[in-house]
Amino acid sequence: MLTQLLRRVEGTIIKQYRGIVKVTKNFYKTSNKRIKKVNRKYVQKIVSSSLAIKMVGYVTLFIAMSSSMQVAGGESQIWASNLRFDKTQVIPISLPAKQIDIKIEPIPVPQPVKKVSISRVEVARERAVVPALSAPASNIDVKAYARARSDEMFGVGHWSSLEALWARESGWNYRAYNRYSGACGIPQAMPCSKGGANFRNDPKQQIEWGLRYISGRYGNPSRAWGFWLSRHWY
């Protein structure tokens, strides 16, 4: 009996709750619609009133401007009628004319450049000459000596590889020294005692030793440079 009573009470409560929810939803919808309608009416009234105010302002401004222009026009006519011009009181003014001197200078004609023709034989002779070195020597003299000796030993096509190889090793500095490995000189001989007694101070001796080392181990500077690119040592 109790369970049946409880179920009936629960059913009635649920029905009443659902009815209350429906009523509140309907009230919310209707109230929103009414609020929107009222807002639209007020907005339309405000817009129409603002437009009317603007139109009244424009009309008053236009009327004021037209009246002021009429007054100004009448005053200008009166002022122009009172003007009198007397030709006898005019004072002539004459300004002195300035003389401008224009000088025209002729444009210099460029002279033709003389072409110097050098034969291939003379170029070959100059390349074949091995410059003498004395320590300390400049970087240009060191490279010229190394290029001449490389062309004699390996041929003309290996100089770019030799230049790049020793640029990476020492920067073509005959006083270069690696304190970690003990390598020194332009070719970075390791150890320095391989080159001889005055090896660290004589770039010519360093170049000769480096070229003999490349010839004995790799055959030419191009192969040595290829090996360096893969291992970063030679």
The residue behind tokens 């000088």 is 103
Q: Which domain holds residue 6?
A: 1-37
Structural domain contains residue 171:
yes
Tokens representing 194 are 């391989």
Structural domain contains residue 91:
no
Structural domain contains residue 168:
yes
Structural domain contains residue 71:
no
Structural domain contains residue 165:
yes
Distance CA 224, CA 163 (A): 11
Q: What is the mean pLDDT of residues 166-177?
A: 93
Cα–Cα distances in Å, from 25 out to 4, 12, 14, 162, 186?
32, 20, 17, 93, 96
Structural domain contains residue 96:
no
pTM of the model: 0.43
In this predicted structure, what is the pLDDT of residue 46?
63
Looking at the structure of the chain, the number of domains it has is 2
pLDDT in tens, 106-142: 666 666 655 544 444 343 333 333 343 444 456 668 9
Cβ proximity of 135 and 115 under 8 Å: no
Query: Which of 2-6, 46-50, 136-140, 184-188 bottoms out in mean pLDDT, i.e. has the lowest?
Result: 136-140
pLDDT at 7 exceeding the cut of 80:
no
Structural domain contains residue 132:
no
DSSP letter, residue 193: G
Structural domain contains residue 2:
yes
Cα–Cα distances in Å, from 71 out to 63, 76, 80, 205?
13, 9, 14, 110
